[in-house]
Structure 1
Amino acid sequence: MTSGAVEAARNILTSLHEVMASRNHAQSKLNNVVEVIGESLHSEVCSVYLLREGMLELFATRGLAQEAVHVTRMAVGEGLVGSIADRIETLNLAEAAAHPDFSYRPETGEDKFHSFAGVPIVRRERAVGVLCVQHVEPRRYEEVEIEALQTVAMVLAEMITNADLVDEEDVNAPGSLTSGAQQLRGLALVKGLASGVAVYHQPRVNIEHIVAEDTEAERQRVILAFDKMREQIDRMASQAEFGVGGEHEEVLETYRMFAYDEGWTRRINEAIDSGLTAEAAIERVQQRTRMRMRQIDDPLLADRMHDLEDLANRLLRIVSGQLGTAASMGLRNDAILIARNLGPAELLEYDKRRLKGVILEEGSLTSHVVIVARAMGIPVLGRVRGLRGVVREGDQLLLDADQASAMVRPPADLTEAFEARFAKSRERQAAYAALRDVHPTTRDGTRVQVMINAGLRDDLANLTMTGADGIGLFRTEFQFLVSATLPSRERQTRLYRDVMDAAGDRPVKFRTVDIGGDKTLPYLRHDDGEGEENPAMGWRALRVALEREGLLKVQARALLEAAAGRVLHVMFPLVAEPWEFDAAKAVFEGQLAYLRKQKKVLPEAIHYGVMLEVPALAEQLDVLAPKISFLSIGTNDLTQFLFAADRSNPKLAERYDWMSPAILRFLRRVVKSCEGHAVDIAVCGEMGGRRLEALALLGIGIHRLSITPASVGPIKDLIGKVDIAEIEAAMAQWLAQPPVDLRAELTAWAAARDIAVD
């Protein structure tokens, strides 16, 4: 903002302050407002249009025919004024009639005026009106005039709302200035259906006071807020531990760059100089940023502008003292949480009875918040671009993560259809729940073990609810991810003992801590402090545990003590070669020897296993198989390594297909390699929880599945309809001579036998 703009805005704000403080009624105040602005900017016309009953109505004017006041009305999107409100952007035209959106209104007498400039009057991120000026002489308005108008529009937004000049429902109504219902597309991170109102994880700050009483005091508030924000960003950067990758570092550096950007701080201080409070000044600059964002086609640059938006929100919360998240304030209704991204601990803070779903601007299939959400049974839609520009706090949302979409502000008929589908889904779930006490057995009498994946105490109730055969994968890292410090041995022991108590005589297969990669811990650092370019294949899982042997020793001791007098099943993740298994087992055997010396009660038996996620391990199963009791195939990581396709990359989603003959042939070869050895083989991962994929797995000899609790019922139902010999014969033929589309072939095969696989 130039010094001229600051001076012009200050003069107008001073005069407006007097107008607002007067005892005149609202219409009289508005009449005075257009006179003040018109005189200050030497403008022949100054008009204010306000939103009422969904239409933009001329409320006050200087220069146009007074007979047009409260008569001239236009729809949002209609004419220049409607266009400004619809797009929430500024127009500055030397010749108004030449613009394609120009709409002539003869009753206003505006035909003699050529130049036109207008700015939206924004309240709670919605345009509630338009402020515009006009001249007879064709000319573009100077930047100083536009900036003064934008600043004044902020004050008008507060004034007209407080004076009830716009209908409250027009300000708050979902989609009041959008095209009504809008569909969002993204990446399905956790499937499921949900409905509720939009709640922002970090709610927007409501600015109560616009005009400053003491400019210097406001400046000091901003300086202190900047200091605190920069301290937060520096701390975030310093805590960026191993496995974050170059992209994450780049994001943090961008944050830091914006946080220390002198241009940004200067613009905020200039807005304060013009007479705004600290909050209003930040919001004023933020509004300009949003307007610029709408004009940016470059996605990379748009992302950078989103970074600045995030920082502005952070600064606004600091300066206003409104630092809480929606979780700390409590959810009052069924809610769909809106956020840029979330950590698992943040998600766990929410009331699960009210939290029905999550929509993220970012998020990936591998992020630990997604794993936690899946465990909690909460559908998640991620990678929704421009989310905050479409969804407002309180908007009604229908989340269909099954179809990777969400509907904002749905019409009644769509809501009704969604609820009917939701009800049918609940009916199916009820039917599946009836299978709780049924042992999954195929039509020809083959018993299939169906177990659940878990990682939280809350998951334990699912054992009883689903009637699962046990826990085929207990992710011990969850306790590490949701903790601010390294969990003590005592805390770990308590958790593992509770899990085994809840499972009773059903087995629990504990996977040793799988951290690193995308699952970073702020209290565990890389030796060199740098991130990794490809964290999924980097310093993670057993590699971390073997290098940080103290970490594995503590966990080994906790598991052994928790399993006193019981059978312990423990498996090691991301084993690439047999020596890694040997090294990890040696740590456990060392702790076992120590406990034996201490005369402690020992486990009745210990069964060791590995996760097969690294393809290289399949080439040495003949060496490893005699040493292990069980093998769990982690299809999520294994498949992305086989295909060299990052499963979190939407562009590669179609290449990441579990029904590819390549992955099925590989899995069948693993099964064959273990024949003749006393090794139980199971599939742990999302693949086993999908009916079509589970059918294929049964056909290649997999008779143990460990899946999400929500999938247990559907998979039990599927198993009861399958003849193992028949599906094995069909799969053998297809894998010997792969069809063009194996997914389509198997779907048709199942349909012919009345086996639903969707």
Structure 2
Amino acid sequence: MSAAAAARRILTRLHEVMASRLHAQGKLDHVVDIIAESLDSEVCSIYLLREGMLELFATHGLNAEAVHVTRMAIGEGLVGTIADNVETLNLAEAKAHPDFQYRPETGEEKFHSFAGVPIVYRERAVGVLCVQHVDPRRYEDVEIEALQTTAMVLSELISNNELIDEEEARGLTPADTGPATISGLPLVKGLASGAAVYHQPRITIDQVMAEDIEVERQRVYRAFDKMRDQIDNLADRAEFGVGGEHEEVLETYKMFAYDEGWSRRINEAIDAGLTAEAAIERVQQRTRMRMREIDDPLLQDRMHDLEDLANRLLRIVSGQLGTAATQGLRGDAILIAKNLGPAELLEYDRRRLKGVILEEGSLTAHVIIVARAMGVPVLGRVRGLRGIVQEGDFILLDADNGTATARPTQPVIDAFETRFAKSRKRQAVYAELRDIEPFTRCGTRIEVMMNAGLRDDISTLPLVGADGIGLFRTEFQFLVSATLPQRERQFRLYRDVLDAAGDKPVIFRTVDIGGDKALPYLRESEFENDENPAMGWRALRLALERGGLLKVQARALIEAAAGRSLYVMFPMVSEPWEFEAAKKVFDEQLTYLRKQKKMLPEAIHFGAMLEVPALAEVLDQLLPRISFLSVGTNDLTQFLFAADRANPKLAERYDWLSPAILRFLRRVAQATVGSGVDLGICGEMGGRRLEALALLGLGFRRLSITPVSVGPIKEIVRQVDLRELEKAVQGWLSAPPENMRAAIAGWADERGIETD
């Protein structure tokens, strides 16, 4: 029997129960009898959330005296684990599970097998439906599918009969009328203020069981056609030009919209007897459960795109089309959502959308790429927003520091506005420095370059007055693509970047994927089994092993730079032979293109990133082979301290101004003296004013930083006398003060150098 047939058989009988005049408890008692009989199971039980505990509400097979007596906390026992994780359990031997707890009053000691599914209401588990059997066996997939579909019907029965508290089901506490500060992860930095606007009004499903399956199927078909038309129109009117990364994002989004597997699963749910709305929600619940099982952040982001489409489809089929975007923003708004797809963000009025707060979200999500291009600050990973922020609440968003304040007091508003005004004033000062070269007071020219990774980033270059692109992250194109970018697409991107940069240099870092930047279309056992991905199969290691990947990129870069100078930098070099192996790939492509009579670059300058501490021990062998060396402070720091920067417990533990790091950097700088190799810094460290002072004092003369940091760093460079600064830094490193950060800040303050 198929899953649809099994579910349909149960739903047909449940329909009679739902339509009967029985009271709610009587209906639940009938439901457990029906499921137990249909699945040939000796036990079927329903637990519901009441006063924060999961209470046994109905059972077939366990002791009747345990009903309304047995209670478990969320996370307690197998039932509590299902509710806590919103996941399905299917066990041949329940007692073998580490979370198993025996409750003597139920008389369940003779039962071995156990299967349970969460009863989900408004995206939260409000109960558990479970079955048990004497014989040890795993339940068949069709039985689990039937249980999951039945749980959805139970959700309707529970809500209609007020068997659970509405506020408790939503996980809400009474709305606080006072100010509330929330914290999250800065995804797109910036300051903004406005009224809280929830992106998506909650869609209520009034009917779960279908009267006519064919009618429901036709409703879904029409909704799919309308949704696909909407996506096609969005792709046509995207505001970011032709051929950019945003176009690739929308193409990936479009691919999901036309996915036959997704529509097939919805049809199967309709076959089981669900309405169109319930079928879409049923498949969406399965998607959410899958997302909780996926550790790969990039794959999770792609699943978010699919959830975005499911929400869109559900709104269309239900006729509940009123989103904040379609209704229109009435004033300055801070948009709030669990997550957003890129297409949904593009629907908003850019003049009134000032910021976004997401319950989820990550730096690699498609929507963040679009938000960055729109210049909209985004704060992510903020939990429990609906319990804190009400529609219309005034919000101050500080995505620079990863916070937002709802319902702020007037003094807080005044302080924020003062900071906002100061920020605008500072930006005006930095704008005046755009065309001024950054010379120190003692006359030394410092190169202040910017980091980039998208085609649109290059437009920032003339606006901030950077000396060039000190780091172009070529992997961004790979991360936003649904498939491995072919040579022609890579060539077009690199050519466009060089064209936009004009006569300013662009240092292309060859693809740095792997680690926390795994690609869904490049699945390898090395990724899946890598317990320490930051120090695993990634960057140059991966590129050298997959020679075709580096070969294609080398040829695309060489052809794109025809008639110009090309700067190529290899990431995560550990030993000189790795640099030589990578350079050999480029040399072979040069030879090939020369034979093809192709126009070549005027010159190719090769460099390496020093991120792995081991490379510092062999610089004497590497320096004669390279033109430039860039120290990648982000990875270098975590390797020096054996501290994963992705671990929130360690992220802020180690200071860039610790003597250990500064002494290491001094040794690297001293090793390059007289070598003719251009030495620079790539990473966040160089973009912070206090840290930049330390780097200048160590002998670094090229800083590659985020575009927003270019102005502040140019300003501080012009206030420094390097001879005085170098002497101070040497003194601090010889006899480190108790607080290096305070020592440098005090030195700067004495000279009127602002380091905030």
**Band of TM-score, shorter chain:** 0.5 to 0.7
> Does the C-alpha gap of structure 1 residues 146 and 440 become closer, same or farther in structure 2, counting only changes over 3 Å?
closer
The offset of 1:716, in angstroms, is: 0.7
Q: Which residue is 1:507 aligned to?
A: 505
The offset of 1:491, in angstroms, is: 2.0
> Does the C-alpha gap of structure 1 residues 572 and 404 become closer, same or farther in structure 2, counting only changes over 3 Å?
same
Structure 1: which 5+ residue stretches go unaligned? 14-35, 42-83, 95-122, 126-144, 158-173, 229-258, 260-267, 288-299, 301-307
The whole-number CA distance in structure 2 between the counterparts of 1:148 and 1:8 is 10
Q: Which amino acid aligns with 2:591?
A: A
Q: Which residue is 2:603 aligned to?
A: 605
The whole-number CA distance in structure 2 between the counterparts of 1:11 and 1:680 is 82
The one of 508, 530, 534 aligned to 1:532: 530
> Does the C-alpha gap of structure 1 residues 472 and 214 become closer, same or farther in structure 2, counting only changes over 3 Å?
closer
> Does the C-alpha gap of structure 1 residues 558 and 175 become closer, same or farther in structure 2, counting only changes over 3 Å?
same
Q: Which residue is 1:517 aligned to?
A: 515
The answer to whether 1:618 aligns with 2:616 is yes
The whole-number CA distance in structure 2 between the counterparts of 1:614 and 1:346 is 41
How many residues align structurally? 574
Q: Which residue is 2:184 aligned to?
A: 186
Q: Is the 8 A contact 2:468 2:505 kept in 1?
A: yes
> Does the C-alpha gap of structure 1 residues 309 and 390 become closer, same or farther in structure 2, counting only changes over 3 Å?
farther
Q: Is the 8 A contact 2:187 2:368 kept in 1?
A: yes
Structure showing greater radius of gyration is: 1
Partner of 1:402: helix, strand, or coil? coil
Q: Is the 8 A contact 1:204 1:313 kept in 2?
A: no
> Does the C-alpha gap of structure 1 residues 316 and 445 become closer, same or farther in structure 2, counting only changes over 3 Å?
closer
The whole-number CA distance in structure 1 between the counterparts of 2:605 and 2:21 is 79
Q: How does 1:308-457 map to 2 (within 5 A)?
A: 321=316, 332=329, 335-338=333-336, 356-362=354-360, 378-391=376-389, 395-410=393-408, 414-457=412-455
The whole-number CA distance in structure 2 between the counterparts of 1:748 and 1:322 is 64
Deviations 1:541-580 (A, max 9, x none): 1122111111111111111111111111100111111111
> Does the C-alpha gap of structure 1 residues 357 and 618 become closer, same or farther in structure 2, counting only changes over 3 Å?
farther
The answer to whether 1:151 aligns with 2:148 is no
Partner of 2:630: helix, strand, or coil? strand
> Does the C-alpha gap of structure 1 residues 367 and 545 become closer, same or farther in structure 2, counting only changes over 3 Å?
farther
**Per chain length, whose mean CA-contact separation is higher, i.e. which structure has more relative contact order (CA < 8 Å, sep 6+)?**
1
The whole-number CA distance in structure 2 between the counterparts of 1:681 and 1:548 is 29
Q: Is the 8 A contact 2:562 2:600 kept in 1?
A: yes
Q: Which amino acid aligns with 2:184?
A: G
Q: Which residue is 2:591 aligned to?
A: 593
Q: Which residue is 1:746 aligned to?
A: 744
Q: Which residue is 1:210 aligned to?
A: 206
> Does the C-alpha gap of structure 1 residues 393 and 625 become closer, same or farther in structure 2, counting only changes over 3 Å?
farther
The offset of 1:187, in angstroms, is: 3.7
> Does the C-alpha gap of structure 1 residues 222 and 553 become closer, same or farther in structure 2, counting only changes over 3 Å?
same
Partner of 2:396: helix, strand, or coil? strand
Q: Which residue is 2:628 aligned to?
A: 630
The answer to whether 1:724 aligns with 2:733 is no
The whole-number CA distance in structure 1 between the counterparts of 2:279 and 2:704 is 54
The whole-number CA distance in structure 1 between the counterparts of 2:284 and 2:521 is 34
The answer to whether 1:473 aligns with 2:482 is no
Q: Which amino acid aligns with 1:151?
A: N
Partner of 2:424: helix, strand, or coil? helix
The whole-number CA distance in structure 1 between the counterparts of 2:691 and 2:349 is 34
The answer to whether 1:563 aligns with 2:572 is no
The answer to whether 1:656 aligns with 2:673 is no
TM-score (norm 2): 0.64
Q: Which residue is 2:115 aligned to?
A: none
Q: Is the 8 A contact 2:156 2:208 kept in 1?
A: no
Q: Is the 8 A contact 1:700 1:731 kept in 2?
A: yes
TM-score (norm 1): 0.64
Q: Which residue is 2:106 aligned to?
A: none
> Does the C-alpha gap of structure 1 residues 349 and 650 become closer, same or farther in structure 2, counting only changes over 3 Å?
farther
Deviations 1:183-207 (A, max 9, x none): 1023445543122455667x35533
The whole-number CA distance in structure 1 between the counterparts of 2:562 and 2:304 is 54
The offset of 1:751, in angstroms, is: 1.1
> Does the C-alpha gap of structure 1 residues 346 and 631 become closer, same or farther in structure 2, counting only changes over 3 Å?
farther
Q: How does 1:540-579 map to 2 (within 5 A)?
A: 540-579=538-577
Q: Is the 8 A contact 2:305 2:341 kept in 1?
A: no
The share of aligned pairs that are identical, in percent, is 63
Partner of 1:465: helix, strand, or coil? helix
Q: What is the RMSD of the two structures over their aligned residues, measured on CA atoms?
A: 5.2
The offset of 1:359, in angstroms, is: 3.3
The whole-number CA distance in structure 1 between the counterparts of 2:473 and 2:324 is 25
Q: How does 1:458-469 map to 2 (within 5 A)?
A: 458-469=456-467
Q: Which residue is 1:757 aligned to?
A: 755
Q: How does 1:261-300 map to 2 (within 5 A)?
A: 279=277
The whole-number CA distance in structure 1 between the counterparts of 2:342 and 2:576 is 33
Q: Which amino acid aligns with 2:160?
A: T
The whole-number CA distance in structure 2 between the counterparts of 1:611 and 1:339 is 39
After TM superposition, the structure 1 stretch with the greater mean CA deviation from structure 2, 635-644 or 401-410, is 401-410
Structure 2: which 5+ residue stretches go unaligned? 1-9, 29-48, 58-67, 69-120, 124-153, 167-171, 225-261, 263-268, 286-294, 296-302
Deviations 1:311-357 (A, max 9, x none): 99987665555699989969846554545567899989988666544
The offset of 1:463, in angstroms, is: 1.3
Q: Which residue is 2:492 aligned to?
A: 494
The whole-number CA distance in structure 1 between the counterparts of 2:719 and 2:653 is 30
The whole-number CA distance in structure 2 between the counterparts of 1:640 and 1:372 is 29
The offset of 1:418, in angstroms, is: 2.3
The offset of 1:489, in angstroms, is: 1.6
The whole-number CA distance in structure 2 between the counterparts of 1:179 and 1:440 is 50
> Does the C-alpha gap of structure 1 residues 335 and 471 become closer, same or farther in structure 2, counting only changes over 3 Å?
farther
> Does the C-alpha gap of structure 1 residues 213 and 667 become closer, same or farther in structure 2, counting only changes over 3 Å?
closer
Q: Is the 8 A contact 2:175 2:387 kept in 1?
A: no
